[in-house]
Amino acid sequence: MADSLSDTLKKLKITAVDRTEDSLEGCLDCLLQALAQNNTETSEKIQASGILQLFASLLTPQSSCKAKVANIIAEVAKNEFMRIPCVDAGLISPLVQLLNSKDQEVLLQTGRALGNICYDSHEGRSAVDQAGGAQIVIDHLRSLCSLTDPANEKLLTVFCGMLMNYSNENDSLQAQLINMGVIPTLVKLLGIHCQNAALTEMCLVAFGNLAELESSKEQFASTNIAEELVKLFKKQIEHDKREMIFEVLAPLAENDAIKLQLVEAGLVECLLEIVQQKVDSDKEDDITELKTGSDLMVLLLLGDESMQKLFEGGKGSVFQRVLSWIPSNNHQLQLAGALAIANFARNDGNCIHMVDNGIVEKLMDLLDRHVEDGNVTVQHAALSALRNLAIPVINKAKMLSAGVTEAVLKFLKSEMPPVQFKLLGTLRMLIDAQAEAAEQLGKNVKLVERLVEWCEAKDHAGVMGESNRLLSALIRHSKSKDVIKTIVQSGGIKHLVTMATSEHVIMQNEALVALALIAALELGTAEKDLESAKLVQILHRLLADERSAPEIKYNSMVLICALMGSESLHKEVQDLAFLDVVSKLRSHENKSVAQQASLTEQRLTVES
């Protein structure tokens, strides 16, 4: 074998130059046979013999053996070590020229050769790019798209594969294909050839690659991809095939227009069916599919239009089915159900309807099942849903009387930041303008101590910010001396003072209003803490800083006036020459700031 291969290679060198057709064909057949028996070894010998360089001359349109030569190149390029030598031998340009051939066999072998050279090879892709190969292949796909004979389908599959190898994991080449209009062509292919498994699979992998690119989403949205994928999905029984479609659906469903198209094409019904079929199975494939299906369902609800369409005024069958997931014993379904409710709860109308129809009790039951060693993701999702439901004013009192605060407070001991974050947000939403509830919570020493502890959670900015905001909210909404005393005793004052220096204006403002209430209601109790937190110096800085928002300046001056009732703080105000800063603000462009500056100046003058 080895000897005859060496002889063939020698003979080929001579005949390639002499162009003796018959013996040339014979040599090429021998090579193809040798490659079929041992591809790697034969490829090494071909490389060592230097014959690759001669192949370029055999790839001319006039050559009678061009299809066989392209076939040999396709075979050797299956080996990674042969791809760069093929580029170096100058084979790309003549191969790309052959893409203009009318001969189906030549096109098939040329497509294979270029596809294999491009596989995982930067040099191969670059050479095909420079030779303009991609555009010719896309033109072929367009013109051959509607022919369904087996030979043509095979060619289409090879061309799709070539484009995939050419652009896989390469953003700029994928963007190039998108600009050349490959997406509508591939969608059309999928529609016409959905009976052909190999071609369908190739289209799906290509979609999966392209869909990751943001720029592709708009093009996909202008095709009927949603309809085609749902149609294909309904036909699939095998797990692997469904999984492939899921991998395309997930990135596409991030686009709101496509979300709506998928809902209209009936994807949700397919997903609900999968959930129903797989919910009680303990097979790994079924568990995976249940998770993928329910996750995708939640993703579809992230679009405002698709969500509203499925809510159908709370009467929709989809909404009702999702509700039934919450009491289920399957954690994945509980999670998806709670997340879906959180997504439905994105406008006041939906929230009010759901609260009136008993959703709060279902979520509280779910939380109850996860208090001890519970599932963190389910806790987080259920709290997210309750937080969203608590946003409309009309829902707050209803949720408070349903016992939501008690249910939420059971998670105070959680050490998981995502749960802490949602717990804080839910309580803050619930007590907004609810004086009685704010007072009750603000006198809860355990809660206030935990808040003060979380105000120092430097590793978790979200938890830290929410704790500060809830501390401030307890004071602002209760306006209660007892609440202020509890917060002072728990060491919360310094955190409110620090919050006044936050980079977020809304948080600065909340802190200043809470501090003004403290100064007005319980200055004697808080005096020492305000002093050691350097509140007066901070207020001076806020007033002197030109970048401070008008409301910050206004509330800082209100607070200064309130602090004058304390001898030690009054002295600090005098020592810092506040008059200079305040008198400048009398000419501030904001009327409220200018008026407050005049009042503050009078107060400072009288008291000095």
Question: What confidence category does residue 1 fall into, taking pLDDT thresholds of 50, 70 and 90?
Answer: very low
Are 470 and 457 a contacting pair, CB within 8 Å? no
In eight-state DSSP terms, residue 528 is H
Q: In this predicted structure, what is the pLDDT of residue 553? A: 95
Distance in angstroms (rounded) separating the CA atoms of residues 553 and 603: 16
Tokens read off for 494: 């310094």
Q: In this predicted structure, what is the pLDDT of residue 575? A: 86
CA dihedral 507, 510, 513, 518 (to 10 degrees): -100
Average pLDDT of the residues in 49-76: 91
Prediction pTM value: 0.82
Tokens read off for 11: 């003979």
DSSP letters spanning 538-553: HHHHHHH-TTS-HHHH
Residue whose pair of structure tokens reads 């703080």 in the numeric block: 569
Q: In this predicted structure, what is the pLDDT of residue 394? A: 95
Q: At 425, is the secondary structure helix, strand, or coil? A: helix
CA dihedral 13, 15, 19, 20 (to 10 degrees): -170
Residue type, 249: L
Cα dist from 523 to 474, 486, 564, whole Å: 17, 14, 10
Domain 1-131 listed as CATH 1.10.390.10: no
Instruction: List every span in the chain annotated with CATH 1.25.10.10.
Output: 1-131, 133-255
Average pLDDT of the residues in 129-141: 95
Residue 19 pLDDT more than 80? no
Distance in angstroms (rounded) separating the CA atoms of residues 556 and 245: 58
Does an H or E element contain 44, and which?
Answer: helix 39-49
State the chain's mean pLDDT as an integer. Answer: 92
| pLDDT, tens digit (0-9, with 9 covering 90-100), for 225-275 | 999 999 999 988 788 888 999 999 999 999 999 999 999 999 999 999 989
> 87-113 b/e with 16+ CB inside 10 Å = b?
bebbbbebbbbbbeeeeeebbbbbbbb
Residue type, 143: S
Secondary structure of 146-179 as H, E, C letters = CCCCHHHHHHHHHHHHHHHHHHCCCHHHHHHHHH
Among candidate residues 72, 81, 65, 59, the one with its CA nearest the CA of residue 31: 72
Q: At 419, is the secondary structure helix, strand, or coil? A: helix
Distance in angstroms (rounded) separating the CA atoms of residues 377 and 105: 56
Question: What confidence category does residue 450 fall into, taking pLDDT thresholds of 50, 70 and 90?
Answer: very high
Among candidate residues 124, 130, 95, the one with its CA nearest the CA of residue 109: 95
| Phi, psi dihedrals of residue 312, rounded to the nearest 5° | 45, 50
Question: What confidence category does residue 480 fall into, taking pLDDT thresholds of 50, 70 and 90?
Answer: very high
Q: What is the CATH number of domain 133-255?
A: 1.25.10.10
Q: What percent of the chain has pLDDT over 90?
A: 74
Are 542 and 560 a contacting pair, CB within 8 Å? no
Residue whose pair of structure tokens reads 């009309």 in the numeric block: 394
Rounded (10°) angle between helices 348-356 and 331-344: 130
Largest interatomic CA distance in the chain: 116
| pLDDT, tens digit (0-9, with 9 covering 90-100), for 569-578 | 988 988 888 8
> 123-151 b/e with 16+ CB inside 10 Å = b?
bbbebbbebebbebbbebbeebbeeeeee
